[in-house]
Amino acid sequence: GAGVSQSPSNKVTEKGKDVELRCDPISGHTALYWYRQSLGQGLEFLIYFQGNSAPDKSGLPSDRFSAERTGGSVSTLTIQRTQQEDSAVYLCASSPTGGGWDGYTFGSGTRLTVV
Amino acid sequence: GQQLNQSPQSMFIQEGEDVSMNCTSSSIFNTWLWYKQDPGEGPVLLIALYKAGELTSNGRLTAQFGITRKDSFLNISASIPSDVGIYFCAGQLNAGNNRKLIWGLGTSLAVNP
């Protein structure tokens, strides 16, 4: 597609439920990043994919968080047993390997609210 | 997690005024970036800086990569109402394919027409 697409745009879930957030990167972009943005905060790195592998998972806050990427394209971020502190906007970015930073493109995010 | 120190936290200015914001870090960065984020959208790149001392302009925006590689500033000249938004600095610690970014907390800019 023309840009990075994230779905859903908004998600309200009950505490303790599992949620899946989806990211469709720009076609041909080999690198994919997940960030979390809490209210009034900057972005917090979660995980980086190069192709289907995740060489850097250092930002995942707990073992309730996991992510996968299949076919070098779509990625899913899963949060199990959601807690209220998981409420945030989850942003995905994709990038070609190499090249300028103008190719590093963000989606509009998924706003997650845990009630 | 690691964050950059960005200031000021917010600014309220009159249309036509100039704006300056900056970021500092205790770590040396390989690349400094400045982004703007509008409500409900992801950040959009304004300026990328790659070398210590580099001064780069993009229209009314000017940014510099500090000589120590631990700071950067962004200036906006002759502000207009559409400049309203949140501005973020971000830095890449290491060169290479992993473009993990460390972010400031943002500067919220309001412009009074």
Which of these, B6, B60, B1, lies nearest to B33 by C-alpha position?
Answer: B6
Mean pLDDT is lowest, of A58-67, A94-103, B53-62, for: A94-103
Decide if B93 touches A, using CB distance below 8 A.
Answer: no
* Dihedral of alpha carbons B7, B10, B16, B17, sign: negative
**How confident is the model over A7-47, as pLDDT tens digits?**
999 999 999 999 999 999 999 999 999 999 998 788 999 99
Which of these, B47, B54, B80, lies nearest to B69 by C-alpha position?
Answer: B54
Contact B41/A45, CB-based, under 8 Å?
A: no
Decide if B106 touches A, using CB distance below 8 A.
Answer: yes
- Tell me, what's the pLDDT at B97? 75
**How confident is the model over B25-36, as pLDDT tens digits?**
998 998 999 999
Q: What is the DSSP letter of A76?
A: E
Which of these, B23, B16, B31, B24, lies nearest to B107 by C-alpha position?
Answer: B23
- Tell me, what's the pLDDT at B2? 67
* pLDDT score of A1 more than 60: no
- Tell me, what's the pLDDT at A50? 92
Query: Which of B41, B48, B100 comes nearest A48 by C-beta?
Result: B100
- Tell me, what's the pLDDT at B110? 96
**How confident is the model over B34-52, as pLDDT tens digits?**
999 999 999 999 999 999 9
- Tell me, what's the pLDDT at A101? 85
Q: What is chain B's Cα-based Rg?
A: 14
Q: Which of residues 40-79 of B touch A (CB under 8 A)?
A: 40-45, 48
* pLDDT score of B95 more than 80: no
Predicted confidence band at B89 (pLDDT cuts at 50, 70, 90)?
A: very high
Query: Which of B1, B40, B97 comes nearest A108 by C-beta?
Result: B40
**How confident is the model over A43-88, as pLDDT tens digits?**
999 999 999 999 899 999 999 999 999 998 999 999 999 999 999 9
